[in-house]
Amino acid sequence: MRIGELAERAGTSTRTLRYYESRGLLPARRADNGYRTYDEDDLRLLSQIRVLQDFGFELEETRPFVDCLRAGHPAGDSCPASLAVYRRKLAELDGLIGQLADVRDQLGRQLADAERAAGEAAVPKCEMTG
Amino acid sequence: MRIGELAERAGTSTRTLRYYESRGLLPARRADNGYRTYDEDDLRLLSQIRVLQDFGFELEETRPFVDCLRAGHPAGDSCPASLAVYRRKLAELDGLIGQLADVRDQLGRQLADAERAAGEAAVPKCEMTG
DNA sequence: CCTTGCCTTGACGTCGGCGTCAAGGAATAC
DNA sequence: GTATTCCTTGACGCCGACGTCAAGGCAAGG
């Protein structure tokens, strides 16, 4: 199949496929007329890349998974290098989520304090006027 | 004070201050020789910006806080517009944290599955050989 | 006078993952 | 023949918050 069909079947763009090729991630065979040619295996590699991209992996981080599939393994994560990326990514995510949760809590307190201050300014010393 | 001193006292760079000025966020008075001149109030505005930046706010999102301080309010979040940004940011954070938690769980399962598969491949049908 | 250290504006570089446009070749439909 | 649609390479644009370099001005110390 050609680049347009592969892009459509994978739910991405031809530009993206050319970009992956430029990064050496998904090289293509060439037909006599110079057109890029792909097969079903390429679709599997591409699907693996897309899944990981959706997870927030950088392109380079998908490389071990692609290499693993290309080496004939049943899944992209059947290789130690891929598992290592999983673990790094998990640690990274845990750290990030923790940071964001901290920020979230601080912001929540800031908002509560600011709302309280605004309320007191609007109705000052309410209990003294009764 | 001049730009270098303000930058140092705020723990940032002169480039950053010029950038803020170019965005209209922190304009500076000028001395006769053309040098930018700042006062203690500018340091407060800048500190407010930096705190919010550290929280992950975009520069534009800090503008209501700066405007609020400049209007003479005691804090950057003493104005409704600032509170609105707080609330938007909280919602945004909650959404993001939720997404990341989902990804984290999926990744954790992927890793567990892949590790189990690798283990079974290494010691296949262990209970059948006993 | 000369050096040093601050300041000025202007402009290009960074990072990732593409989008988008341009100019032209190739294959298919009619 | 020609209209359409696919394909090719090349190259600039984008986003955000600056970093970094260049060329030159201004002030103070020795």
Q: A45-77, pLDDT tens digit by residue? A: 999 999 999 999 999 999 999 999 999 999 999
pLDDT for res A125? 58
| Tokens linked to A98 | 């923790």
Residue B16 identity (one-letter amino acid): T
Is A53 (CB) below 7 Å from strand D? no
The separation between the first and the last C-alpha atoms of chain A, rounded to the nearest angstrom, is 82
pLDDT for res A124? 62
Averaged pLDDT score across all residues of chain A: 93
- Token match 């283990």: residue? B119
Contact B55 A103 (CB under 8 A): yes
More confident residue, A118 or B112: B112
In Å, what is the CA distance from B95 to each residue of A48, A99, B104? Answer: 26, 14, 14
pLDDT for res B129? 47
Res. A121 pLDDT band, cuts 50 70 90: low
How wide is the angle at C-alpha A17 spanned by C-alphas A32 and A62, nearest 5°?
A: 125
Residue B11 identity (one-letter amino acid): G
Q: What is the mean pLDDT of residues A99-128?
A: 84
pLDDT for res B117? 83
For chain A, which domains are there?
3-121 (1.10.1660.10)
- Which residues on chain A are in Cβ contact (under 8 Å) with B52? none
Q: Show which residues on chain B lie within 8 Å of chain A, measured between beta carbons.
A: 55-56, 75, 77-78, 80, 82-83, 86-87, 89-90, 93-94, 96-97, 100-101, 103-104, 106-108, 110-111, 114-115, 117-118
The CA distance from A104 to the nearest CA of chain B, in Å, is: 6
| Tokens linked to A51 | 């899944």
Hey, which residues does B100 pair with through a beta bridge? Answer: none
Hey, which residues does B36 pair with through a beta bridge? Answer: B30
Res. B36 pLDDT band, cuts 50 70 90: very high
| Tokens linked to B45 | 């505005």
| Tokens linked to B30 | 């000028």
Residue B112 host element (H or E): helix B80-122
pLDDT for res B125? 57
The CA distance from B35 to the nearest CA of chain A, in Å, is: 36
Please state, in angstroms and rounded to a whole number, the distance separating the CA atoms of residues A78 and A87.
14
Contact B83 A108 (CB under 8 A): no
pLDDT for res A119? 73
Contact A86 B110 (CB under 8 A): yes
| Tokens linked to A106 | 């601080």
- pLDDT at residue A126 tops 70: no
- Per-residue pLDDT reduced to its tens digit, B65-105: 999 999 999 999 999 999 999 999 999 999 999 999 999 99
pLDDT for res A120? 76
In Å, what is the CA distance from A129 to each residue of A35, A119, A123, A124? Answer: 84, 16, 10, 9
Averaged pLDDT score across all residues of chain B: 93
Please state, in angstroms and rounded to a whole number, the distance separating the CA atoms of residues A68 and A81.
8
- Per-residue pLDDT reduced to its tens digit, B116-128: 987 776 666 555 4
Contact A75 B114 (CB under 8 A): yes
DSSP A125: T
